A and B are shown apart, each in its own frame.
Chain A
Amino acid sequence: MSALAWSLPALPLVAGGFLLVGRRWVTDRVAPVVGVGVGVVVLGLALWAAFARPAVRFRLFEGVPAGLAVDGLSAVMVVVVAVVALAVLVYAAGMVLGARFFGLMLVFVGAMLVTVTATDLALLLMGWEVMGAMSYALIGFWWRDAWRVEAADVAFLTTRTGDLGLYLAAGCALAGTGTLELGGLAGAGGGWRDLVAGGVVLAALGKSAQLPFSFWLSRAMAGPSPVSALLHSATMVAAGAYLLLRVSPLLEATGWAASVVAWVGALTALLLGGVALAQRDLKQLLAASTCAQLGFMVLAAGVGGLAGGTVHLVAHAAVKSLLFLCAGAWLTALGTKDLGELSGAARRYRVVGVTFGVGALALAGFPPLSLWFTKDAVLAAAAEKSPWLYAVGLAAGVLSAGYAAKALFAVWRPGGRAGERVGVLEKVPLVVLAVAAVVLGVLGVPQVWGAWGRLLGDASAPLPGVVELVVSGVLAVVVVGVSARWRVGEVRWAEQWFYLERAAGLVVARPVVALARGLARFDDRVVDGGVRAAASTGRALASVADRRIEPRVDGVVTALGAGARRLGSAARRPQTGQVHTYYAQAAVLFAVLVVVVLLVG
């Protein structure tokens, strides 16, 4: 059984690594086949693991147990990751991307699987960091464009800043509980527990692009569309939400973390919904909406709605990856992602248009599509904690209907122009994901919901009431209907993501750089000055020694050498080669020895 737990992440990691380093043997033509093949096998392994529930424990460091295990939450996550990954890999196989792309994607999948199956912070951190690195490499995949690399830098640095929290959490967990087990974090004593919770929350908010970190996801859109679909909507950004859901007992135990998380999630859902509504760029709209939807999951984690948050995560993964892939298809075919220029795109590309329509309506919360129910499942859990949270969530839901409708009508408007065709490999995943976006709403059937809750160990998860469902459904329909008539204009400050990046630059990056400059100046003037002074003193002393002392020492050494040489030739003089002189010398010397003995005696 442990072999399964190992091979699930190891297979994509090894295959991806091989694609990255073995480009001499795997050509760019073969790489998509390898990628999709590995994706299929990983999906098989994930399904097997979801049923078999393998677990393996080992020692990563002395005295610190570590492990990989698949429990209910992990089972859901591995299947979601594997399904979306396969869909995206199939889609990417239709594009011209090469072995490096598939290698990076597979390594990412492996790291994600490590993250969602790790039972301890150390292993989770490893997967977490590799995910971040792959995200960096994939955003900057077309590295010849300087702006893409810069975007990758911004995304990487921002998430890394959050990641520091996870290191803090790991250190404090070790200090507070003696282990790094995720299950034991809530038991950390005293102040350690608060520090652990703070660190975890920081890292999760960073990874999930919640406020105030949201801006990096905007920059992450510089990567290829399959990357946006897999990393920056369905899986990696969801890892933050996953982590919060995983440690929700810890958040609950601290007393403050849970409500902080809930409010950050709710506010992100609301504000980033507004950002999404103000976008003119399709991918940017989807990115902002991703932040907003992740806000619902974070909210769920904050209010302890494990079942609701997870179901929203699953449904959103399907919907959002679908929407990104559609956007990517149009970007490739038409060369634009501007909502104004995408007019008629859906009419000309029927399969893409219809699947996009399904996804957008689901995103809008249109009944009976999946997100309509899952969002209300989250809100039902929130309502148990605070009516205010519920109200904010509902408002955020209205906004999501608004931006989804905006995108929907933009692409279905008549007009526009023809472009290149979209290949069949790109279309197949769209259809599959669209079907998933529709049918995942079936989880809302009470019997199924009960089973879902038991799967995740959250059997008492509240089912949204009929009234609430009707209210949100009606709101969605109304908003979509209104949007058909009135198009929302772009508000500059919302379109620019509230200038969050500029603020971060102003509040964090600038002071840090200024401090670094100051320290560098201190280093140059004071520290280096001392070093230079020492060096010049040394050189001055050396030159004195060279001019004054060295000639004398050298003279002594030379004299010594000459003396030794003279002594050497003197020592060879007795060796005349003539035996009679040897005899004479020996006889005399032995006579001397006799005298010595006699004198001493």
Chain B
Amino acid sequence: MMMNENPADLLPELCVLGGAVLGLLCGMFLPRARQWIVGVLCAAALVAGLVFAGLAARRADMTVFESFVLDPVTHVTRGVVLAATLFVVVLAMRPLRGDRRETEFYVLVLLAALGAVVMGMTSDLLVLVAGYLVASIPAYALAGFAKDAAGTEAALKYYLMGAFFGIFMLAGIALLYGAGRATSYEALGAGPGGVVAVGVVGLLAGLFFKAGVVPAHFWVPDVAQGASRVVAAFVTTVPKVGAFAALYRVAVGFGGGFDLSLLLALVAAATMTLGNLAAFGQDNVRRLLGYSTISQAGYLLVPVAVAGRSGMAEPAVLYYLAAYAITNVGAFAVVVAAGRDEVDGYRGFARRSPLVAVALVICLLGLIGTPPTAVFVGKLLMFGAAVDGGYGWLAVVAAVNSVASVFYYLRWVVPMFARGDEWAGALDRRAAVLAVIAAVGSVVVGVGSGVVLAL
């Protein structure tokens, strides 16, 4: 890879940063009724970032500033993070219209997204820490954005857990630096075995926190339930993308005297199983989706565990990330559209709005992994990578978990189509449209998987 110090290679990130700064400045001078302009500005910045990311994806791989890698992992991370953030921004415009701190919301979302991208594209431990903090701190503020009791509690828990695992991470990085005398991933694992083992577990603890993986998953259901619906959609989707990209880079780059893959495989199995089991009894759909994202994180960790052992690992991670992001935001968009949190609140919803109900069904079937949705292809790649990488038992665990997950997703679907119940309530039209778009996108990406994977 050739070295380069051209800031233009980071144009997508600069667009997001510029959008956030410019939005903050504009927000100071705009009257409350017209703060939506900041939302449009931020959306425009994200679109510009997407365009530049798309252009950058056509160029050869390289490293800029000795710490940012421009390779397929980065391209996909950028694309998915920016697209999901754009989705969330548009989703937020209606519920936030006229809010006193509307500008701050958009700016925080953009900054958190920036942090996620930085985490995903860096190859240096110190930049990773910076990305971790940029991704985390705005997210804490977002969790408590509504200033209600539940949101405040969620924000506090989110922050405390983040701080805790942040310390693990910093300590781990300090140990690795001490052992390997470098912060680049290339030097990862050099040094005495015991120190490296403790250090790498500490590093992984921080990443597990962002990814919502056992045993750093505790914040996920609490935040998904306590924060506002839009924020829940954001924090269960965007930071994970960056975290998994970083996890994949660490897993590939780790050159210690021992194998990380077994550790990752055990964590993956535990994560998917725990997430699924805990989701069984949930009556709150946001909590249900929170546990669902934990189990999805478990599936996503499978190809990370076999990184470097199977050629299918990288496409599996990247494809699954994109599929998961589009499907998860779609499901949350339905929650935003309906404005209900209880499973029973969706009784008769299909009669009221068949299209949105079908969109939700598609998203949930997608999360189960039903053909022809995108996650199905992602899961297929994941199974393939696991078997190919010598972790057949992990594929079996994942398959059993997929089957078990049908139960709780259907618990949400069945009441929607129950006869005789009237669903009364207002429907957020914009969110409904976004949900349908996400559902269609999920099917299109799934059906067109051959084309997508060829890119």
Which residues of A are found within 8 Å of B277, using beta-carbon distances? 564, 567-568, 570-572
Contact segment of B26-34, B62-70, B259-267: B259-267
Q: Output the nearest chain A residue to B209 by Cβ-Cβ distance.
A: A586
Name B269-321 residues within 8 Å CB distance of A.
273-274, 277-281
Asked whether A600 and B281 contact (CB < 8 A) given A586-B164, A590-B201, the answer is no
Name A558-588 residues within 8 Å CB distance of B.
564-565, 567-572, 574-575, 577, 579, 582-583, 585-586
Question: Is the pair A601, B218 in contact by a Cβ cutoff of 8 Å?
Answer: no
Question: Is the pair A594, B198 in contact by a Cβ cutoff of 8 Å?
Answer: yes
B143 to chain A, nearest CB (A): 14
B392 to chain A, nearest CB (A): 19
| Interface flag for A451 (CB, 8 Å) | no
| Interface flag for A589 (CB, 8 Å) | yes
Question: Is the pair A597, B280 in contact by a Cβ cutoff of 8 Å?
Answer: no
| Interface flag for A593 (CB, 8 Å) | yes
Asked whether A574 and B201 contact (CB < 8 A) given A579-B157, A583-B164, the answer is no
Question: Is the pair B216, A565 in contact by a Cβ cutoff of 8 Å?
Answer: no
Q: Specify which of A569, A574, A589, A590 lies most central, judged by the most chain B CB atoms within 10 Å of its CB.
A: A590
Name the contact of A572 in the complex, choosing from B216, B260, B278, B407 (C-beta under 8 A).
B278
| Interface flag for B255 (CB, 8 Å) | no
| Interface flag for B120 (CB, 8 Å) | no
Can you list, as one digit per residue, whether each of B313-335 has a CB less than 8 Å from chain A (1) or not (0)?
Answer: 00000000000000000000000
| Interface flag for A596 (CB, 8 Å) | yes
Q: Specify which of A565, A569, A572, A598 lies most central, judged by the most chain B CB atoms within 10 Å of its CB.
A: A572
Chain B contributes a number of interface residues (CB within 8 A of A) equal to 41
Cα A579 to Cα B164 in complex, Å, equals 10
A329 to chain B, nearest CB (A): 66
Q: Output the nearest chain A residue to B168 by Cβ-Cβ distance.
A: A590
| Interface flag for B221 (CB, 8 Å) | yes
Cα A437 to Cα B221 in complex, Å, equals 101
Name the contact of B222 in the complex, choosing from A572, A577, A586 (C-beta under 8 A).
A577
Name B206-238 residues within 8 Å CB distance of A.
214-216, 218-219, 221-222
Q: Output the nearest chain B residue to A560 by Cβ-Cβ distance.
A: B404
Question: Is the pair A601, B197 in contact by a Cβ cutoff of 8 Å?
Answer: yes
Question: Is the pair B257, A601 in contact by a Cβ cutoff of 8 Å?
Answer: yes
Question: Is the pair A590, B257 in contact by a Cβ cutoff of 8 Å?
Answer: no
Asked whether A568 and B278 contact (CB < 8 A) given A594-B198, A598-B197, A601-B193, the answer is yes
B312 to chain A, nearest CB (A): 24
Which residues of B are found within 8 Å of A575, using beta-carbon distances? 218, 221-222, 278
Question: Is the pair B165, A597 in contact by a Cβ cutoff of 8 Å?
Answer: no
Which residues of A are found within 8 Å of B393, using beta-carbon distances? none
Which residues of B are found within 8 Å of A582, using beta-carbon distances? 157, 161, 218-219
Cα A582 to Cα B205 in complex, Å, equals 14
| Interface flag for B450 (CB, 8 Å) | no
| Interface flag for B7 (CB, 8 Å) | no
Cα A594 to Cα B202 in complex, Å, equals 9
Asked whether A579 and B160 contact (CB < 8 A) given A564-B404, A601-B197, the answer is yes
B409 to chain A, nearest CB (A): 14
Question: Is the pair B258, A586 in contact by a Cβ cutoff of 8 Å?
Answer: no
A25 to chain B, nearest CB (A): 38
Asked whether A593 and B161 contact (CB < 8 A) given A565-B280, A571-B274, A582-B218, the answer is no
Cα A579 to Cα B153 in complex, Å, equals 10
Cα A582 to Cα B163 in complex, Å, equals 13
Q: Output the nearest chain B residue to A565 by Cβ-Cβ distance.
A: B280
| Interface flag for B256 (CB, 8 Å) | yes
Name the contact of A568 in the complex, choosing from B193, B260, B281 (C-beta under 8 A).
B281
Q: Output the nearest chain B residue to A579 by Cβ-Cβ distance.
A: B160
Cα A583 to Cα B216 in complex, Å, equals 9
Q: Output the nearest chain B residue to A572 by Cβ-Cβ distance.
A: B278
Question: Is the pair A565, B161 in contact by a Cβ cutoff of 8 Å?
Answer: no
| Interface flag for B56 (CB, 8 Å) | no
Q: Output the nearest chain A residue to B165 by Cβ-Cβ distance.
A: A586
Q: Output the nearest chain A residue to B279 by Cβ-Cβ distance.
A: A568
Which residues of B are found within 8 Å of A577, using beta-carbon distances? 222
Question: Is the pair A572, B281 in contact by a Cβ cutoff of 8 Å?
Answer: yes
Name the contact of B201 in the complex, choosing from A568, A569, A572, A594 (C-beta under 8 A).
A594
Q: Specify which of A570, A571, A589 lies most central, judged by the most chain B CB atoms within 10 Å of its CB.
A: A571
B268 to chain A, nearest CB (A): 13
Question: Is the pair A600, B258 in contact by a Cβ cutoff of 8 Å?
Answer: yes
| Interface flag for B420 (CB, 8 Å) | no
Which residues of B are found within 8 Å of A572, using beta-carbon distances? 277-278, 281
Cα A571 to Cα B282 in complex, Å, equals 12
Cα A590 to Cα B205 in complex, Å, equals 8
Question: Is the pair A596, B263 in contact by a Cβ cutoff of 8 Å?
Answer: yes
Cα A585 to Cα B219 in complex, Å, equals 13
Q: Output the nearest chain B residue to A593 by Cβ-Cβ distance.
A: B201
Q: Output the nearest chain A residue to B164 by Cβ-Cβ distance.
A: A583
Which residues of A are found within 8 Å of B407, using beta-carbon distances? 564
| Interface flag for B416 (CB, 8 Å) | no
Which residues of A are found within 8 Å of B222, using beta-carbon distances? 575, 577
Cα A164 to Cα B104 in complex, Å, equals 85
Cα A582 to Cα B194 in complex, Å, equals 26
A571 to chain B, nearest CB (A): 4
| Interface flag for B435 (CB, 8 Å) | no
| Interface flag for B200 (CB, 8 Å) | yes
Question: Is the pair A586, B216 in contact by a Cβ cutoff of 8 Å?
Answer: yes
Name B136-179 residues within 8 Å CB distance of A.
156-157, 160-161, 164-165, 168
Q: Output the nearest chain A residue to B161 by Cβ-Cβ distance.
A: A582
Question: Is the pair B262, A596 in contact by a Cβ cutoff of 8 Å?
Answer: yes
Which residues of B are found within 8 Å of A594, using beta-carbon distances? 197-198, 201
Q: Output the nearest chain A residue to B270 by Cβ-Cβ distance.
A: A589
Cα A594 to Cα B219 in complex, Å, equals 22
Q: Output the nearest chain A residue to B222 by Cβ-Cβ distance.
A: A577
Which residues of A are found within 8 Å of B258, using beta-carbon distances? 597, 600-601
Question: Is the pair A589, B280 in contact by a Cβ cutoff of 8 Å?
Answer: no
Cα A597 to Cα B256 in complex, Å, equals 11
B282 to chain A, nearest CB (A): 8
B352 to chain A, nearest CB (A): 30
Asked whether A568 and B280 contact (CB < 8 A) given A575-B221, A585-B215, A586-B215, the answer is yes
B253 to chain A, nearest CB (A): 16
Which residues of B are found within 8 Å of A567, using beta-carbon distances? 277
A580 to chain B, nearest CB (A): 9
Which residues of A are found within 8 Å of B164, using beta-carbon distances? 583, 586
Cα A582 to Cα B219 in complex, Å, equals 9
A570 to chain B, nearest CB (A): 7
Cα A570 to Cα B219 in complex, Å, equals 18
Cα A582 to Cα B156 in complex, Å, equals 13
Which residues of A are found within 8 Å of B165, using beta-carbon distances? 586
Cα A511 to Cα B91 in complex, Å, equals 79
Which residues of A are found within 8 Å of B263, using beta-carbon distances? 593, 596-597, 600
Cα A598 to Cα B193 in complex, Å, equals 8
B89 to chain A, nearest CB (A): 30
Name the contact of A579 in the complex, choosing from B161, B201, B280 (C-beta under 8 A).
B161
Name B97-143 residues within 8 Å CB distance of A.
none
Cα A525 to Cα B205 in complex, Å, equals 76
Asked whether A590 and B266 contact (CB < 8 A) given A571-B274, A600-B259, A601-B258, the answer is no
A537 to chain B, nearest CB (A): 33
Cα A564 to Cα B200 in complex, Å, equals 34
Question: Is the pair B267, A593 in contact by a Cβ cutoff of 8 Å?
Answer: yes
Q: Output the nearest chain A residue to B196 by Cβ-Cβ distance.
A: A601
Which residues of A are found within 8 Å of B404, using beta-carbon distances? 564
Q: Which 7 residue pairs spanning A and B have beta carbons closest together?
A: A601-B258, A568-B280, A589-B215, A571-B277, A571-B278, A582-B218, A597-B197
**Can you list 6 A-B contacts (CB < 8 A)?**
A564-B277, A567-B277, A568-B279, A579-B156, A597-B201, A601-B259
Known: A586-B218, A594-B197. 18 other contacts (CB 8 A): A564-B280, A564-B407, A567-B277, A569-B281, A571-B274, A572-B277, A577-B222, A579-B156, A585-B218, A586-B215, A589-B215, A593-B267, A597-B197, A597-B260, A600-B262, A600-B263, A601-B193, A601-B258
A residues touching B (Cβ–Cβ < 8 Å)? 564-565, 567-572, 574-575, 577, 579, 582-583, 585-586, 589-590, 593-594, 596-598, 600-601
